[in-house]
Structure 1
Amino acid sequence: MDGNTIILLIGVAYLLGIMVIGLYSMKHQKDMDTYYTGGRRFGPWLVALAVSSTTMSGYGFIGLTGLVYQNGYPVFMIGIFATAGIFVSFLILAKPMRKIAEKFGAMTIPDILEARYNSKAVRAITALAILGGAIGYQMAQYKALGNMLQTVLGVDYQIALFIGVTILTIYVVAGGMISALWTDFIQMIVMVVGALIVFIGGMNLVGGMSQLNSEISSINPDMVNAYHTAGPIGIFAFISYFFIYVIGHQGQPHVVSKFYMIRKVSMLKWACVIAASTYAITALLWFVGLYTKVMVNRGEMAAPPSPDLVAPLFIENFFHPAIAGIIFAAVMAAIMSTSEAFLLIASSSIVRDIYQQIYKKGEKLPQKKELALSRWITLSVIVLTFLLSLNPPDLVGWLGNASWGIFVASLVPVLSIGLYWKRATKAAAIWSSSLGLVFSIGLYILKVKGIYVPALDTGAIAFMISTVAFIGISLITKQESSEVFKEISNKKADSA
């Protein structure tokens, strides 16, 4: 049996396994609540590994490995900042989101924001922001999935993408969030094992850390610095990453929506430590970018035709087929875990936030009808993002970064500041989210077209604009009462 066949069999076994989980989970889906939140009955390990796996994503495993190959150590600051961001998100948002969700029956972030600001407009704007960012981020996942499977299967990108999306469709549409949580749990274990194998094996291959750094420095001294002195990731990019990945982690709906699902609030502290630790371990896979740079420089490997192919080609070239198969499964796990999360939040934005709560004015649908509608909309989102991903506009790394920027600018001020600051007003929330959405998308388009290329990341600029607007407009508009603060106050009184 040749190496490619072994890799293929391991990959197929993994994909069939998660399909079985999805189909098995289908019988537990009773209504929209179980489809989107899993019934809020999961323990800290399941929730924690779901948070870390969806934070990593195909953007992390494929896109950032490619960016490390191009730019070196400065890209690792994203991992350091994102690890810190997990702690910040749990510290600031986990408890209030879980308590408010239980009181108001919230299933989505716009659910909580409508309760906080008593505004359908805030719900609509934030739902659109989530939908727009989710589609962009999902394109990054699909591109990573296509790149991965074309290497494993030896077929064209479009065919590989179709196969991957078909499998994803079966287990996400059928199983919903119950399937997502369990597959995230399994996938994160695979991701941790795969990252450790690659890190240790690759380090032995290049001759250790000192040798690695020496050779990388000889290629480009800027690649071993925390940020470039002359390259594309300079001090302003470094500052931007702080805003996007430390502060901005709180605005990532595919991650913070997991806070709804934990069984008890007291479990959140353990989930926080587990999530941050496992994410940091999986980020070791990014060293593949440096290993590949060294092996290409030595002439022991051909230069990858695209940075997005760095991880799959390195693994295929230098690992035993059985080990390579496990690592490929780990990378597919990263892609699949985030794909399912984004598909579900995009679907919930349409079904729950726009159709049911705005168009139907909160009318309760029959359980079977709302579950069927949720599945059909999820399927529609899959088809749309698949078509857009057949010819995606950017590298996986930069595409994912742009989507993070949309979420940061549109959601962080109204959510993280708004849940603590009683002075924040409905008008401020409407303007802040609107400006965040418009500027994050508009500035990114200008940057891609080369019309305006700012020193700071476009998402970071949009975030600063939306934050200033949120605070400023709150201070000049009339304060309104909110049931959310009454609920938090009552909880504090009860626990005293």
Structure 2
Amino acid sequence: MSHSVIVIIGVLYLLVILAIGILSTKHQKDMDTFYVGGRRFGPWLIALGISSTTMSGFGFIGLPGLVYENGYPMFMISIFATGGIFVSFLILAKPMRRITQKFNSLTIPDLLEIRYNSKAVRGITALAILGGAVGYQMTQYIALGSMIEVVLGVDYKWAVSIGVVILTIYVISGGMISAVWTDFIQMIVMVGGALIIFIGGLVMMGGMSELNTQIADIDPEMLNPYHSTGEITIFTFISYFILYMIGHQGQPHVVTKFYMIRKMSMLKWACIIGAATYAISSLLLFSGLYARVMVENGSMEAPASPDLVAPMFISNFFNPVVAGILFSAVMAAIMSTSEAFLLIASSSIVRDIYQQIIKKGEKLSQKKELVLSRWITLAIIVFTFLMSFNPPALVGWLGNASWGIFAASLVPVLSIGIFWKRATRTAAIWSSTLGLIFSIGLYIASVKGWYTPKLDTGVTALIISTVTFIGISLMTKPQSSIFFDKKSDRFESKKEKTMEI
């Protein structure tokens, strides 16, 4: 009976989300509404969209598994990512919102082509976004399959298949309008679910002091911010700071939401709301510590994979109604990020590579663009679905690698380039290219055991791409850019004030 209750609650939740996706279809008139929702959303919708896509299946499934294995050092990821939300808002939010209104850009490569007057920069950054999105999307499918595997008790491959069918209907139907609205609902579910798990687990443990005492009995190193021996060292701590605090600015599924807010004056509230809700939802990571204690004292069976930690803890220690809600929270994290990644991946192919590079800016009808976008989105779903049958790594590490690809390829050319007039086209091309090559190449070398740098592979690639960007910019001739046209900025500022009134 308890199993049936969990399934029923989960199915009801999914039906609500699917209904939103299908109802949003009638609002999908063009690329602007499909990819940026018509730029008409308020601070709560944008804030919860940013926090929910930052969390993702990586946060709700992958991170508890890493906490289960390593302890408190893995909390650094969520702590630094919370700070990263503030940093991204502080540096990028207003410029990106102003620029998208000024030049009608829909994607990050749109913005970067205008900044550097270069199709090559557009193409390279579009490929980087596509590569990182494919890797990150696989983490969502693995997380989805792991959860459904525990809830329904079916084989992993069947679990992934069931989840992807539901996700396909949801994503193809609604585009960014359904994504933002369901992110809003899903983040509320995630925050509630995280609080229930944190408080409920703490009561089971007998309080925070007792939890830490039991963790210390298992391994005192798990209480430290990094370990004195093994893989989780001081270099890991430094890597997480750089990757999640600074690298947050290169996450396209997050920062493209700056395009969508209705008025720039709303951004300050969106920043506070987004960081706060993400921080609260990160309390779910304690499930990894609770599960480790339960396994060590024999109250819970050891998971076959760390990715199963959160689903197994929920199913073992919460009543069916609460468990059903909590599983809905996990599903919420996965689905919200899945849609965001699928949309940025398809926009990279349709708008940035096909329309702007292959077709050389040739105008397509709005209907043809929309249909093509949906077909490309479906193709990406199928490809990543097949890849997730034999995933190359745990959800946590794969998500970390994809985050690194985005950071190394985009942070220098975006965060430095939109402010620094001295930055040049040649520097942007080399920086993004090397960032993409080194982030993927070093990750593969590390997984294969050929070479593992002291710092995280993505951070090492980010340092290389940043030094390249600054160095080549200083060595090459400065170039003018309409990007910094102040007269146009003043006109746009007046136009926005008129719109706000």
TM range (shorter): over 0.9
The one-letter amino acid of 2:253's match is H
What SS does structure 2 have at the residue aligned with 1:288?
A: helix
Give the match for residue 238 of structure 2.
Answer: 239
Q: Deviation per CA, 1:191-215: give whole Å up to 9, x if none.
A: 0000000000000001110000001
What SS does structure 1 have at the residue aligned with 2:485?
A: helix
Distance 1:170 1:494, change over 3 A: closer
Tell me the distance in 2 between the aligned counterparts of 1:9 and 1:425.
Answer: 56
Give the match for residue 41 of structure 2.
Answer: 42
Task: Please tell me whether residue 6 in structure 1 is matched to residue 5 in structure 2.
Answer: yes
Give the match for residue 484 of structure 1.
Answer: 483
Q: Deviation per CA, 1:348-388: give whole Å up to 9, x if none.
A: 00000001111111111111111100110001110010010
Give the match for residue 467 of structure 2.
Answer: 468
Tell me the distance in 1 between the aligned counterparts of 2:487 and 2:178.
Answer: 31
Distance 1:6 1:425, change over 3 A: same
Give the match for residue 402 of structure 1.
Answer: 401
Q: What TM-score comes out, normalization by structure 1 length? A: 0.98
Q: Which runs of 5+ in 2 are unaligned?
A: none
Q: Deviation per CA, 1:78-98: give whole Å up to 9, x if none.
A: 111000000000000001101
Tell me the distance in 1 between the aligned counterparts of 2:166 and 2:183.
Answer: 15
Give the match for residue 329 of structure 1.
Answer: 328
| Shift of residue 328, structure 1, vs aligned partner | 0.3
| Shift of residue 491, structure 1, vs aligned partner | 3.4
Tell me the distance in 1 between the aligned counterparts of 2:28 and 2:42.
Answer: 19
Tell me the distance in 1 between the aligned counterparts of 2:353 and 2:275.
Answer: 33
Give the match for residue 257 of structure 1.
Answer: 256
| Pairs aligned (count) | 495
Aligned pairs for 1:88-127 within 5 A: 88-127=87-126
Aligned pairs for 1:268-347 within 5 A: 268-347=267-346
Give the match for residue 192 of structure 1.
Answer: 191
| Shift of residue 231, structure 1, vs aligned partner | 3.1
Tell me the distance in 1 between the aligned counterparts of 2:280 and 2:232.
Answer: 23
| Shift of residue 494, structure 1, vs aligned partner | 5.5
Tell me the distance in 2 between the aligned counterparts of 1:303 and 1:450.
Answer: 27
Tell me the distance in 2 between the aligned counterparts of 1:33 and 1:107.
Answer: 7
Contact 2:108–2:252 under 8 Å retained in 1: yes
Q: What TM-score comes out, normalization by structure 2 length? A: 0.98
Tell me the distance in 2 between the aligned counterparts of 1:258 and 1:404.
Answer: 17
Task: Please tell me whether residue 388 in structure 1 is matched to residue 377 in structure 2.
Answer: no
Tell me the distance in 2 between the aligned counterparts of 1:370 and 1:214.
Answer: 58
Give the match for residue 157 of structure 2.
Answer: 158
Tell me the distance in 1 between the aligned counterparts of 2:423 and 2:487.
Answer: 16
Q: Deviation per CA, 1:253-299: give whole Å up to 9, x if none.
A: 00000000000011000000000000000000000000011111111
Contact 2:9–2:325 under 8 Å retained in 1: yes
The one-letter amino acid of 2:344's match is I
The one-letter amino acid of 1:403's match is S
Contact 1:100–1:487 under 8 Å retained in 2: no
Contact 2:102–2:488 under 8 Å retained in 1: no
Tell me the distance in 1 between the aligned counterparts of 2:117 and 2:208.
Answer: 55
Contact 1:123–1:353 under 8 Å retained in 2: yes
Aligned pairs for 1:16-165 within 5 A: 16-165=15-164
Distance 1:124 1:24, change over 3 A: same
Distance 1:492 1:463, change over 3 A: farther
Tell me the distance in 1 between the aligned counterparts of 2:199 and 2:493.
Answer: 50
Distance 1:41 1:64, change over 3 A: same
Task: Please tell me whether residue 349 in structure 1 is matched to residue 353 in structure 2.
Answer: no
Tell me the distance in 2 between the aligned counterparts of 1:493 and 1:88.
Answer: 25
The one-letter amino acid of 2:297's match is R
Give the match for residue 437 of structure 2.
Answer: 438
Tell me the distance in 2 between the aligned counterparts of 1:493 and 1:108.
Answer: 19
How large is the Cα RMSD of the aligned pairs? Answer: 1.2
Tell me the distance in 2 between the aligned counterparts of 1:305 and 1:334.
Answer: 22
Tell me the distance in 1 between the aligned counterparts of 2:201 and 2:150.
Answer: 19
Give the match for residue 358 of structure 1.
Answer: 357
Contact 2:41–2:261 under 8 Å retained in 1: yes
Tell me the distance in 1 between the aligned counterparts of 2:112 and 2:377.
Answer: 23
